[in-house]
Amino acid sequence: MSMIAYYFRLALRSLRRNPVLSALMMVAIGVGIGASITTLTVLKLLSADPLPQKSAVLYYPQLDPRGSASTKSGAANAEPPDQLSYIDAMYLLNAHRADRQAVMAAGNFALRPDPVNGRAVKGFFADARETSADFFAMFDVPFLYGSAWTAADDDARARVAVISKALNDKLFGGGNSIGRTLPAGRGQLRIVGVLRDWRPTPRFYDIESRSSFGDAEQVFVPFLTARELKLGLDGSINCWSNSADIDHLETADCGWLQFWVELDTPAKAHEYLDFIGAYSAEQHAKGRFERAPNVRLRSVMEWLDYKRVVPGDVRLQAWLALGFLAVCLVNTVGLLLAKFLRRAPEIGVRRALGASRRAVFLQFLTEAGLIGLAGGALGLLLALAGLWVVRQQPADYAELAHLDLAMFAATFAAAVVAALIAGALPAWRACQIPPALQLKAN
Amino acid sequence: MELHPIVAALRRHRLAVALLVLEIALCCAILCNLAFMIFARLSSMQVPSGIAESELTSLTIGSFRGDNQGAAADAIVQQQLAALRAIPGVRSADAINSLPLDRNSWYTEITFTPDAKDPVALICEFLATTNAVSTLGLKLVEGRAFTEADAAPMDSFLPTAPVAILPLALAHKLWPGEDALGKTFYMGAHRYQVVGVVEHLLAPVVHDPAQADFTALFPVAAASDTGGSYVLRAATADRDRVLREAEDVLLKISPTGIISDRRHYSEVRAQYFRQDRAMAGLLAGSCLLLLLVTALGIVGLASFWVQSRTRSIGVRRALGARRGDILRYFQAENFLIVGVGIGLGMACAYGLNLWLIERYEIGRLPLLYLPVGALSLWALGQAATLGPALRAARVPPVIATRSV
């Protein structure tokens, strides 16, 4: 232990002797670590599990109702469409074969709020989710006031809505707005619930419409209520027949609905897959599905992976940063080598006075580790600066980019490990220096 | 200059030289690919839209859906268009479903026979009132623009007017080597004849640059199929005022309406490419940092060599070498090392590019980048060595007579 303290003092002295060279090495390590941590933080943020406590039991069923020779599909695209048609989604919803199930579509419609404190509020378009009652329990959506609507409300096409905290703040000053009404389309929606801050990232349940990393919706309305009030839709609609009538989506051959199920055990998931397979076979026999059963049941993370939610740019940046770190490391190895070998006479003397190779090796490794610590501190500052730059970027995920504790610790660990790796080769070379030769040279 | 003594000297520092070569090679490989990615992004941002971008502004008026339908909606759109056209400074105005690069796309497959199952292309439909060719400023290469008589209502999501205007790129793709004018194609059961060909008409979303112009313009009656979106053409200087007045005019006609997407077209393009621009900036920043780190490495090693050879420099000076000789020695040494690094680096750059092509949507690295990257690294090496080499050149001959 006392030897380590001694090496530590030697290292400090050595670093002070060549302040410029020492600074160069710290900067090299710091820049490499800073760039890597910045991009890895963003990558981690984007590939995170949006609902860690439940994502393993949530599944996204897909069916394939397309025509056999249908166009962009054909043999080239064996994957079923991403969304369900109304007929199929309502069948699955009403079958109640899962522990929980919800149909949903992205909506966007005009809200014309009642005057607040006698002052008229300008109408605006709000992003909405038109869904069914299980949505909230299935996704663990937290409520500030009130609660979700019920399945009975779904069936009765009740004029109810759940609103986000942000919308509640905007329209009702953050107060308890349960029971207040919200004029939407031709109807009046009664507010039954107000959410707490809720922003699953990425917004896994619908990554087709809008951005995967944006805010959650402002208004949640029962799906059938929204259809009856003709509230606007905002998602993509993919039709597999050119004669599809998009003015009557209830009967059209178009996929436009997302559907999620909760299946609490793997056995249930297996059963559900069989269930949608059997349904497809039945529809195929009837002639409604032209293809043989072609179904999928992906879990949340499988679905995000399949949809390639993490932008390619971000992966590319992460590789780039690692390449960058490699250049910085090679650089540091070179500089350490130069520095250590210049002290060959000193090493020779120490070896002649009885220091073992191991002692010399440890001494130089200590110095490398010290450089790593300093580089890590610099890297941390650079990572904070880098994440600040990321937050200024126009991407939707940008504002979420913050250094977390794990990354904070990883920065230092990575820097020290990097410096030790960089120091191992030069330290090994240094400890090979024979004592006698150096003494003679002097 | 004799290279032999340089090589002989470098042999004694094999490990340090190898490290420097490795660093240069890595830097060269990353740098060439980075530069290529930056220029690819910048050039993709220049894709021509075919419309008079600097003179266009657009806005959308929405209302509670289902408020007006059919004839009533048509009448309102006509009334709004007339009012917009009456604004001083507005050269023309049309209703249109989307604009190039506004991400509001409406895809349809087209075929050469009715209801066929073998589409020849997937295109984006632009649905506009009949004056749109002149409002957008599209450049007609042949044929004619639409006339009032062409307008017809929509049938679900297909226009019923049997005419279409295509951009050149799509016309070439559909009828290679032939004149597209007068040719016909189908969408579902509907038949369309090409009455005009325009130079460009960029899609609302560009997935594949080769298909950026796979679009077609169709005339529609002033129905709400255009989603209540209007595009106005006015002199660039008038745009701000025109947009303000347009909003007032629309709200006067529909007091309960809600205006959205109110913007100059230049903002649409800027918005579409903002992430590419940011990415290009980030990549350029990484390039600079990479060069900086490499330069620091070269400076560090060169300084070390100069210091450790102070005595031999003195000896050379004492034996008659001039300052220039010493300077040139170190510069040549760096030239040699960087040269080897670049040779390795260009191979690595090519390999890295192949790997990136496989994993990301990146094109093949043009060979021109390799010599350019090499030259810039050589320049960097020479500049970084200059300081230490000058210090070496200042070593006085008398050093040779002193012991270390």
CB nearest to B64's CB, from A110, A313, A324: A110
8 Å CB contact of B16 and A335: no
Whether chain A has a CB inside 8 Å of the CB on B14: the answer is no
CB nearest to B64's CB, from A72, A186, A328: A186
**Which pLDDT belongs to residue A76?**
44
Report how far apart, in Å, the C-alpha atoms of B352 and of each of A75, A317, B344, B359 are: 33, 14, 12, 11
How far is A95 from A87, CA to CA, in rounded Å?
12
Query: Which residues of chain B lie closer than 8 angstroms to A327, CB-CB?
Result: 23, 26-27, 30, 290, 293-294
Query: Which residues of chain A lie closer than 8 angstroms to B278, CB-CB?
Result: 393-395
**Which pLDDT belongs to residue B68?**
53
In chain A, which residue's Cα lies nearest the Cα of B121? A72
Maximum distance among all Cα pairs of chain B, rounded to whole angstroms: 105
Residues in A 337-376 with any Cβ partner in B closer than 8 A: 337-339, 342
CA distance B139 to chain A (A): 31
Q: What are phi and psi of B392, to 5 degrees?
A: -65, -40
* pLDDT tens by residue, A302-360: 999 888 887 777 778 788 888 888 888 888 888 888 888 778 788 888 888 888 888 88
CB nearest to B297's CB, from A122, A230, A331: A331
Q: The tokens of B227 are what? A: 């989603």
**Which pLDDT belongs to residue B84?**
93
Query: Which residues of chain A lie closer than 8 angstroms to B258, CB-CB?
Result: 110, 122-125
Cβ distance A277 to A112 under 8 Å? no
Query: Which residues of chain A lie closer than 8 angstroms to B22, CB-CB?
Result: 330
ipTM, 2 dp: 0.74
Residues in A 124-143 with any Cβ partner in B closer than 8 A: 124-125
**Which pLDDT belongs to residue A244?**
67
How far is B242 from A272, CA to CA, in rounded Å?
58
Which element (helix H / strand E) includes B332?
A: helix B323-359
State the pTM of this model: 0.79
Q: The tokens of B29 are what? A: 């490989």
DSSP states of A374-436: HHHHHHHHHHHHHHHHHHTSSSTTGGG----HHHHHHHHHHHHHHHHHHHHHHHHHHHT--HH
How far is B299 from B386, CA to CA, in rounded Å?
9
Report how far apart, in Å, the C-alpha atoms of A110 and of each of A107, A161, B62 are: 10, 14, 8
Lowest mean pLDDT among A409-423, B132-146, B196-210: A409-423
Whether chain A has a CB inside 8 Å of the CB on B229: the answer is no
Q: Give B172's contacts (C-beta < 8 A, 6+ positions apart).
A: B180
Q: In the block, which residue shows the tokens 């607040």? A: A116
**Which pLDDT belongs to residue A75?**
46
In chain A, which residue's Cα lies nearest the Cα of B21? A330
Which of A66, A236, A330, A390 is the mutation pick for testing B, counting most B CBs within 10 A? Answer: A330
Lowest mean pLDDT among A265-279, B97-111, B231-245: B97-111
8 Å CB contact of A243 and B301: no
Dihedral angle over CA of A38, A42, A48, A50, nearest 10: 130
- Chain mean pLDDT for chain B: 87
Q: Is A63 helix (H, G, I), strand (E, B) or coil?
A: coil
8 Å CB contact of A338 and B188: no
Q: Is B19 helix (H, G, I), strand (E, B) or coil?
A: helix
Nearest partner of A104 among A216, A210, A202, A224, judged by Cα: A224
**Which pLDDT belongs to residue A315?**
79
Query: Which residues of chain B lie closer than 8 angstroms to A18, CB-CB?
Result: none
Cβ distance A32 to A329 under 8 Å? yes
The residues of chain A scoring below 50 in pLDDT are 70-76, 442
Nearest partner of A373 among A315, A325, A412, A326, judged by Cα: A412
Whether chain A has a CB inside 8 Å of the CB on B149: the answer is no
Query: Which residues of chain A lie closer than 8 angstroms to B37, CB-CB?
Result: 316
Pairing of strands B154-155, B258-264: unpaired
Asked if the model's pLDDT at residue B134 lies above 90, the reply is yes
Asked if the model's pLDDT at residue B403 lies above 70, the reply is no
Which element (helix H / strand E) includes A129?
A: strand A124-131
Burial group, residue A213, by CB count within 10 angstroms (0-12, 13-18, 19+): buried
Asked if the model's pLDDT at residue B230 lies above 80, the reply is yes
Which of B113, B186, B282 is the mutation pick for testing A, counting most A CBs within 10 A? Answer: B282
**Which pLDDT belongs to residue B65?**
43
8 Å CB contact of A185 and B64: yes
Which whole number is the average pLDDT over B366-391?
91
**Which pLDDT belongs to residue B197?**
96
8 Å CB contact of B30 and A323: yes
8 Å CB contact of A35 and B361: no
* pLDDT tens by residue, B3-33: 787 888 888 778 888 888 998 999 999 999 9
Q: Is A51 helix (H, G, I), strand (E, B) or coil?
A: coil
Nearest partner of A382 among A16, A39, A19, judged by Cα: A39
Burial group, residue A137, by CB count within 10 angstroms (0-12, 13-18, 19+): middle
Tell me the Ramachandran region of residue B188: left when phi exceeds 0, alpha when psi lies from -120 to 50, beta otherwise.
left
Confidence of residue B305 (pLDDT cuts 50, 70, 90): confident
Q: Give A120's contacts (C-beta < 8 A, 6+ positions apart).
A: none
CB nearest to B258's CB, from A123, A335, A393: A123
CA distance B322 to chain A (A): 27
In chain A, which residue's Cα lies nearest the Cα of B274? A394
**Which pLDDT belongs to residue A118?**
65
- DSSP E strands, A27-89: 58-62
Spell out the domain ranges in chain A: 2-47+311-441, 55-306
How far is B254 from A100, CA to CA, in rounded Å?
44
- Higher-pLDDT residue of B94, A401: B94
Peptide bond into A202 cis (omega under 30): yes
Nearest partner of A416 among A378, A388, A363, judged by Cα: A378
CB nearest to B279's CB, from A25, A123, A313: A313
In chain A, which residue's Cα lies nearest the Cα of B261? A125
Asked if the model's pLDDT at residue B361 lies above 80, the reply is no
A–B interface: beta-carbon pairs under 8 A: 149
